[in-house]
Structures are given as structure tokens and as C-alpha cells.
Amino acid sequence: MPSFHFKTLFAAVVVVLAGIAGCAGDSVGSRDQGSIAKSNSAPAAPPAAAGELKPRKANLPDLPEGAGPMDADAPDEFVPTRSGLYYRILRKSNGRKPRSTDKVLAHYKGWLDNGQKFDSSYEHGEPTEFALNAVVPGWTEGLQLIGEGGMIELEVPPRLGYGAHGNAGVPPNSRLHFIVELKKIE
């Protein structure tokens, strides 16, 4: 199966961020709604009830060739947000954190539950620039949790990813997994 370029893949996704409540970082009301394409799909499901989602352990990931190092004390536990996104910070950073309206330069690898990779900027040989308000909500939320120079692993539930429609190389209702290094905020 061919690899799909992340910028093209995610830029093609139309999402309605106004339906996503409880995301970390900027509040939905502060987003530039004029720059977000409207979707004809059903609104996202409500976020998980408080206390419903629990942290869970998982083996640390194998990093793609070309990735920078993880912290020696990287956690073996994913932490949930109120929206249902699971994350763990693999490399801490005191660098500036992006806002939902920022453009960022990031290196990433994305795969499905079965381990099938659907995209990787590492394989393209260079980080990719994209607007955080033009990608799936799980990315918009997750990248606001780390600073420049940081690395995060995301587990994005379907409603914060491509949902019931899926996307090129991603079947409907797929949970998405990513390793992302935030190189720079543009």
C-alpha cells in the first residue's frame, strides 16, 4: 500500500471543531472559525464523562529512523484528556507551546491499531508544516500539550480522527496512533 503524505492527507480532512468540548489548550470559542472548513458530517460525540477514562500502561514505542531521542524517564503510561485523546510525552521541552491557530513544523509517524503505517514524514526525509486548525482534532489538541523540541505519542479515538468516513489509507472508525516531534512553531 502506498504511503500518503501527511500534509496532503490531513489538509484534505474537513472537521467541525466547534463540536469538540473539553480540549486542552485554546478554548473552542477563541478559534478562528473562518479558517476552518465546515463539514456535512454528524457532530462529534460528547467527550468522556469525568473519571470515565483511566491512564493505562503500554510499552514504549520503537522510534522511526531519523527521530530524536526519548527522555530516559519517558512514561510507560498514557494519560487521557477529557475529550478522549490519550497521550504521553516522550521528550519534555520548556519551549513555547503552539496555539490552535498556529502553523507548526513537525516530524511524525502515523499507524493503525494493527501496526500498519499510513504515513511518515521521516520516510519523506523532512518535517512537514501544517496549520493546527486544519488537521484532525486529536492533533490540534495533542500538539498544544508539548513545546518546541518536544516529542509526544498520541492515541486518537475515531471521533477525534477521521470518524465514520475514514480517509485515504485509513478505514472508517479507526483509532490513530502517532509519534510527533514538534520542531518549530511558525
- Tell me which DSSP letter residue 30 carries: G
How far is residue 182 from each of residues 129, 164, 168, measured CA to CA in Å? 10, 28, 24
Q: Is the pTM of this model over 0.95?
A: no
Q: In this structure, is residue 110 part of a structural domain?
A: yes
With bands split at pLDDT 50, 70 and 90, how would you rate the model's confidence at 52? confident
Q: In this structure, is residue 107 part of a structural domain?
A: yes
Q: In this structure, is residue 1 part of a structural domain?
A: no
Other Cβ atoms within 10 Å of 184 Cβ, number: 15
For the segment 153-178, the average pLDDT, to the nearest whole number, is 95
**DSSP string for residues in 98-157:** PPTT-EEEEEEEEEETTS-EEEEHHHHTS-EEEEGGGS-HHHHHHHTTS-TT-EEEEEE-
Q: In this structure, is residue 161 part of a structural domain?
A: yes
For the segment 50-79, the average pLDDT, to the nearest whole number, is 93
Its domain, for residue 156, covers 6-185
Whether the predicted pLDDT of 14 surpasses 80: no
Q: In this structure, is residue 169 part of a structural domain?
A: yes
Domain count, the chain: 1
List of long-range contacts for 28-32, beta carbons under 8 Å, 24+ apart: 30/100, 31/100, 31/101, 31/133, 32/101, 32/133
At 5, is the secondary structure helix, strand, or coil? coil
End-to-end CA distance of the chain: 32
- Pick from 142, 150, 132: nearest CA to 24: 142
pLDDT at 47: 58
Q: In this structure, is residue 59 part of a structural domain?
A: yes
At 28, is the secondary structure helix, strand, or coil? helix
**472537521: which residue's cell?**
15
pLDDT at 168: 86
Q: Is 148 exposed, middle or buried (0-12, 13-18, 19+ CB in 10 A)?
A: middle
Q: Is 10 exposed, middle or buried (0-12, 13-18, 19+ CB in 10 A)?
A: buried
Q: In this structure, is residue 11 part of a structural domain?
A: yes
The domain that holds 135 is classified in CATH as: 3.10.50.40
With bands split at pLDDT 50, 70 and 90, how would you rate the model's confidence at 39? very low
CA dist., res. 5 & res. 130, Å (int): 12
pLDDT in tens, 92-143: 999 999 999 999 999 999 999 999 999 999 999 999 999 999 999 999 999 9
At 177, is the secondary structure helix, strand, or coil? strand
Q: In this structure, is residue 58 part of a structural domain?
A: yes
